[in-house]
Amino acid sequence: MGDYYVILLPAAGGLVVGLLIYHFAKEAKGHGVPEVMLAVANEGGRIRPRVVLVKALASAVCIGSGGSAGREGPIVQIGSAFGSTIGQVFNLNEDKIKILIACGAAGGIAATFNAPLAGMFFALEVILMAYGPKHISSVVLSAVTATVVSRHFLGNFPAFVIPSYQMSSAWEIPLYFIFGFLAALTALAFIKVLYKTEDVVDLVKMPAYLKPVLGGLVIGSIGLFFPQIFGVGYGSIENALRGELIAQTAVLLVFLKIMATSVTLGSGGSGGVFAPSLFIGAMLGSAYGLLTQFLVPAVAIHPGACALVGMGAVFAGAAQAPLSAIMILFEMTNDYRIILPLMITCIISTVVVGRLSRDSIYTLKLRRRGIDIQKPKGQDLMETIKIADAMRTAVVTVKETDTIGSAGLKIKSTHYRGFPVLDPENRLTGIITRQDINKAMAEGRSGDAAREIMTRDVIVCYPDEVLRSALEKLGKKDIGRIPVVERKNSGHLIGLIDRKSIISSYNKAFTKSD
């Protein structure tokens, strides 16, 4: 078959991946981390046990057959699914299952990259989005244990062996500031292209399990001329760190890797975005370092040093995880001398991307499904609890023909502050309050019908509305209770919502989710 086998191998791998994901675990599609974040935020930490096996097989086949993706996303999802499975087997509560998920993620990252601190920070910063003492202790133990086991079998070596780099002049700092902005724009482009590609693939009219085959053909066609884009690309990263690339090649590989990874994952492949982010950052940094040598040779940045810094900066911007990026690069290289430029560029990249986009490469996937896991917890609850779940269905009512005196007796016996008023056909026509009754009684109108003093312009709620909507109506009109009626039949009273029932339902939901 000659060299052209590289076009067919990724397509064959895509077929296997498509069948695995489509038939056994659709959540194994893509880079995996968003699914873990969703399980922690909205699903009580529950991940199906089968994800462990399906994700391992699908990502191994995808990356092994040439798919342009990383191994950290699969490792996070596999470890997290394993932790969730343990929690479910032992019937633990939601909080403990979530901690086990974070432990699985931390252990996976720590073992894969020989980076225990990076595993810990990734689990806390990205997965849990919390740094509480109850989280840190378990996550640290998991990361340490995984690293010890990994070092026993694989040895204690950094992921990348790089030449010695250090800042030769303080004038390099302004150049790193500029590079931080460039890395941010590149990270943002990676995010946009990835999900735009997913949208384009969704428009293709063909079975979902065959779309990775189409993506594999595209990857193979690119890789026929630029094999650097295949797999995780660590070999090319090491070339960049040693300063062995020319500027034109480095710049071209930035764009090709963004395209290749977007096609791989957008078409339904399985793999992570961490390694591609490192690759893109290394190529970008190498090109920028070579540019500074041409423009300002007196204070130029070594291409290898800038490639190392670029790896962290692009990932920090894309993932909105500067601490994880700094620690991962520090531990992967085991070199402290480049830490200052690394910190500067990672923070600048994170801030700039955060200003231009409200989502990271992980959270955007969820927002596109209508899920915002970054909302404050209280706001989430107020916008998710339905009025139907909070309203009182045992409602005391008054008939239009009842006398004001009899309505007053109901007020005294129930201690309610008002009642909905119904017509002879039990349709809601108004509302009468304690204040209305007391005023009429003082005027000697106890024998008049309730309809004479009721308020006819009634504010109502519907059962499919959320608590926030009811609370806003109560506050806007300064009233204490609102009748709940059917949306298709506004005269059919089905319940009553008031401040007490809102607070009670909120507290129950908050306690359950805490």
3-state class (DSSP) for residue 163: coil
- In the three-class reduction of DSSP (H, G, I as helix; E, B as strand; rest coil), residue 220 is classed as helix
Quick check: is 372 in a domain? no
* Predicted confidence (pLDDT) per residue in 403-414, tens digit: 988 888 887 787
**Residue at 48 is within a domain:** yes
Give pLDDT, residue 40. Answer: 86
Q: Name every residue whose Cβ is closer than 8 Å to that of residue 143 and which is 6 or more positions away in sequence.
A: 106, 107, 109, 110, 116, 117, 119, 120, 123
Phi, psi at 207, each rounded to 5°:
-55, 140
Give 293: exposed, middle or buried? Use CB within 10 Å, 0-12, 13-18, 19+: middle
Q: How far is CA 335 from CA 158, 326, 330, in A?
A: 9, 12, 6
Burial readout 157-178 (b: 16 or more C-beta within 10 A, e: otherwise): eebbebeebebeeeebeebbee
The pLDDT mean for the chain works out to 88
Asked if 354 and 468 sit in the same domain, the reply is no
Q: Largest Cα–Cα distance of the chain, in whole Å? A: 104
Note whether residue 452 is domain-resident.
Answer: yes
Residue 121 lies in a domain: yes
- Based on the fold, state whether residues 467 and 348 are members of the same structural domain: no
Give the E-state strand segments of 443-485 in sequence order: 481-485
Range of the domain at 387: 382-513
**Local confidence band at 62 (pLDDT 50, 70, 90 cut-offs):** very high
Please report the pLDDT score of residue 337 as a whole number: 75
Identify the CA nearest to 403 among candidates 445, 431, 443.
445
Cα separation values, 481 from 25, 156, 499, Å: 47, 66, 7
| Burial label, 462 (beta-carbon count in 10 A; 0-12, 13-18, 19+) | middle
pLDDT in tens, 360-390: 998 888 888 767 776 555 455 777 788 888 8
Beta strand 428-433 pairing with 493-498: unpaired
Indicate whether 295 and 183 sit together in one domain.
yes
Q: What is the pLDDT of residue 378?
A: 46
Strands 418-422 and 481-485: unpaired
Measure the CA–CA gap between 242 and 286, rounded to whole angstroms: 9
Q: Are residues 179 and 102 in the same domain?
A: no
Whether residue 374 lies inside any domain: the answer is no
- 323-345 pLDDT per residue, tens: 889 988 888 777 777 888 999 99
What is the residue-wise DSSP string for 39-84? HHHHSTT---THHHHHHHHHHHHHHHTT-S-BSHHHHHHHHHHHHH
Q: Which of 367, 391, 422 is the last residue of a domain?
A: 367
Q: Do you know the residue count of the chain?
A: 514
Mean pLDDT of 285-292: 94
Look at residues 102, 103, 112, 122 and name the one whose alpha carbon lies nearest to residue 150. Answer: 112
Arithmetic mean of pLDDT, 33-38: 87
Whether 19 and 89 map to the same domain: the answer is yes
* pLDDT the model gives residue 230: 94
The CATH number linked to 455 is 3.10.580.10
Give the number of other CB atoms < 10 A from CB of residue 275. Answer: 25
Residue ending a domain, choose from 122, 154, 186: 154
Same domain, 7 and 76: yes
In a domain, 194, yes or no: yes
Rounded Cα distance, 64 and 302, in Å: 33
Average pLDDT over residues 105-134: 86
Q: Which residue has the higher pLDDT, 458 or 344?
A: 344
Pair of tokens at residue 122: 């990734």
> Looking at the 3D structure of the chain, how many domains does it have?
3
Over residues 197-224, mean pLDDT: 92
- Is 159 a member of any domain? no
Structure tokens at 51: 């994800």
**Does residue 309 sit in the same domain as residue 435?**
no
- Residue 466 has phi, psi (to 5 degrees) of -100, 165
User: What mean pLDDT is predicted for residues 119-147?
Assistant: 87
pLDDT at 514: 54
| E strand or H helix that includes residue 420 | strand 418-422
The answer on 145 and 81 residing in a single domain is yes
Q: Which two tokens stand for residue 451?
A: 């309809």
**% of the chain exceeding 70 in pLDDT:** 96
Which of 332, 367, 402 terminates a domain? The answer is: 367
| Same domain, yes or no: 482 and 359 | no
Cβ of 287: how many Cβ atoms within 10 Å?
25
The whole-number pLDDT of residue 490 equals 78
Pairing of strands 481-485, 428-433: unpaired
For residue 375, tell me if it sits in a domain: no
Q: Which residues of 414-431 are buried (b: 16+ CB within 10 A; e: fewer)?
A: eebebbbbbeeeeebbbb
User: Is residue 272 classed as helix, strand or coil in its secondary structure?
Assistant: strand
92 against 417, higher pLDDT? 92
More confident residue, 92 or 489: 92
Q: Are residues 348 and 215 in the same domain?
A: yes
Residues 68 and 178 in one domain: no
Number of Cβ atoms within 10 Å of the Cβ of 497:
27
Paired tokens of 308: 């190392």
Same domain, 124 and 206: no
Euclidean distance between CA atoms 377 and 381, whole angstroms: 6
pLDDT of residue 318: 95
CATH number, domain with residue 11: 1.10.3080.10
